[in-house]
Structure 1
Amino acid sequence: MLLADKVALITGAGEGIGQATALMFAKDGAKVAVVDRQIELGQATADAINKEGGEAIFIAADVSQHDSIKKMVADCITHFGRLDCAVNNAARSASFALTADTEEQHWDLTQAVTLKGVWLCMKYQIPAMLKTGGGAIVNISSLAGIQGEVFQAPYAAAKAGVIGLTQTAAGEYAQQNIRVNAICPGGILTRGMANYLDKVPGAREKVEGTHAMRRLGKPEEIADAAAYLCSDRASFITGHPLIVDGGIMVNPYLL
């Protein structure tokens, strides 16, 4: 098992990519701190892990709040005794709008959760890992952080910031046995994506068509990538924004 005997902390683990990652990490042998702002969803993820014979706790936290994140890491260490790896997945997008029409409150809230939240998590995860000899962090960015996304300026800017933050921290702590990488997903069939595709006529065909593979990704496929990057098999990889996009960037019909 890739993550046997490791302690992992995963934010936004109540549903979607975060939930799939928590379940995957447990399957791969990790003890998991499941973190989410939504108590019922987060607790359900932790319960599912424990029901299958894994070991998980649920921690309610708001990644945009300093004290909440400080307590989150402290609670994880109090329960498990250490922190070996983390996946900072919690994020939010803004309402669809042109850049010049974006409301300031939407900008601020998106940055607070999607970018500041990742920084706050690492602010406390890194010292915890240093105390036990190192660890691995994966920050979930997006293809939008590499090539932008129309009508989503706050989200694209935040996800680009996640990549820059990831690479900066990777360089700072490489000699202290802490690896920091990012994953940049393409279209992933989460509940939110499914709802959007079901509501908008023709959206599914259009969105799938942007991928060279002609399909959307599964949350588990991002979870697999995160598990690898947090494992010892990725021991020489740090500062890397891993694109997991089903071929959007090489789609011959879009080039």
Structure 2
Amino acid sequence: MTGRLANEIVLVTGAARGIGRAVAVKAAEEGAAVGLIDVLADQLTATTAEIAGTGAKAAAAVGDITDEVSVRRAVGQLTDELGGAFTVLVNNAGKNAYADATKMSVAEWDSVFDVDLKGAWLMARQVLPPMIEGRHGAIVNIASIHSQLTTAGMFPYAAAKSGLVGMTRSLALDVAPHNVRVNAVSPGYIATDLLEEFFDTIPGERENALGVHPLGRIGTPENVAEVVCFLASEAAAFVTGANWAVDGGLGVRYA
């Protein structure tokens, strides 16, 4: 297969559904061998089978990105099954948060940051050594429009996603001398299960969202996947430390 990601080995977290699934499918279409990690075993199996059915090389591991032992085991398993170290990591796994800052427990706080921030670091820590040794690699972190702009009722999601963008910039500087690039993508309203959860939590938000989008529509996971695969490819060889908005223009609107 030929494409932007020919000869790359791509690892996607949260790959069973939504944006992660779309990224994994698109990476395979672009010629990559794809490893998928998720905690949703049945959906993960279905997505992997779909990709493999196209003739692409794909392997899956059920794993918890917040646990370093699970991360080590999953990455090792997938490296063996795909026949080489990963050259691209897409940190997509995440969770929403709707907490009261005065009532949220420490355990609830930790659960948000473990998935939305710590997990991305654990994954990067695991895959970076061979990227650095081979002087070739790219990491794309899926952040959020909430890293720049947010709304009431989603504490502390914005804090976690802002942290992910900060980690992206810091890591990009540290690994740039080794020809490894690190970028972030900040989706806006994208038609995923997490967005449906958000709409169900905040009354009237679906109608409000459609009314304020300059393009007049909600984005698709495939819209995000196109940008992610570009940033992961050599077409973006001079892009690092960036945070790309995929939000239909929402982030540039004054009110």
Q: Shorter-chain TM-score category? A: over 0.9
Task: Report the CA distance between 1:15 and its aligned residue.
Answer: 0.4
**Equivalent of residue 47 in structure 1, options 37, 46, 49:** 49
Cα distance in 2 for residues equivalent to 1:210 and 1:45: 33
Whether the 8 Å contact between 1:181 and 1:240 is mirrored in structure 2 is: yes
Q: For residues 1-255 of structure 1, what are the structure 2 equivalents within 5 Å?
A: 1-79=3-81, 80-94=83-97, 96-194=98-196, 197=199, 202-251=204-253, 254=255
Letter in structure 2 aligned against 1:156: A
Task: Report the CA distance between 1:97 and its aligned residue.
Answer: 3.2
TM-score normalised by structure 2 residue count:
0.93
Whether the 8 Å contact between 1:15 and 1:41 is mirrored in structure 2 is: yes
Letter in structure 2 aligned against 1:25: A
1:29–1:90 distance in 2 versus 1, CA, 3 Å: same
SS of equivalent to 1:217 = coil
Deviations 1:51-93 (A, max 9, x none): 1111100111101001111122222222221211010000112
Cα distance in 2 for residues equivalent to 1:185 and 1:63: 21
Mean alpha-carbon deviation: is it higher for 193-202 or for 219-228?
193-202
1:63–1:230 distance in 2 versus 1, CA, 3 Å: same
Letter in structure 1 aligned against 2:187: P
Question: What is the count of residue pairs matched by the alignment?
Answer: 252
Cα distance in 2 for residues equivalent to 1:126 and 1:147: 30
Q: Which runs of 5+ in 2 are unaligned?
A: none
1:196–1:145 distance in 2 versus 1, CA, 3 Å: closer
Whether the 8 Å contact between 2:132 and 2:175 is mirrored in structure 1 is: no
Cα distance in 1 for residues equivalent to 2:13 and 2:92: 5
Whether the 8 Å contact between 1:212 and 1:250 is mirrored in structure 2 is: no
Cα distance in 2 for residues equivalent to 1:22 and 1:90: 13
Percent identity between the aligned chains?
36
Letter in structure 2 aligned against 1:125: V
Deviations 1:156-202 (A, max 9, x none): 11101100111111000101010000001101011342465478764
SS of equivalent to 2:4 = coil
1:200–1:144 distance in 2 versus 1, CA, 3 Å: closer
Cα distance in 1 for residues equivalent to 2:200 and 2:154: 20
1:158–1:201 distance in 2 versus 1, CA, 3 Å: closer
Cα distance in 2 for residues equivalent to 1:46 and 1:15: 11
Letter in structure 2 aligned against 1:132: G
SS of equivalent to 2:102 = helix
Letter in structure 2 aligned against 1:53: G
Letter in structure 1 aligned against 2:212: T
Mean alpha-carbon deviation: is it higher for 36-45 or for 6-15?
36-45
Letter in structure 2 aligned against 1:19: R
Letter in structure 2 aligned against 1:49: I
Cα distance in 1 for residues equivalent to 2:202 and 2:65: 31
Letter in structure 2 aligned against 1:107: W
TM-score normalised by structure 1 residue count:
0.93
Q: Which runs of 5+ in 1 are unaligned?
A: none
Task: Report the CA distance between 1:34 and its aligned residue.
Answer: 0.9
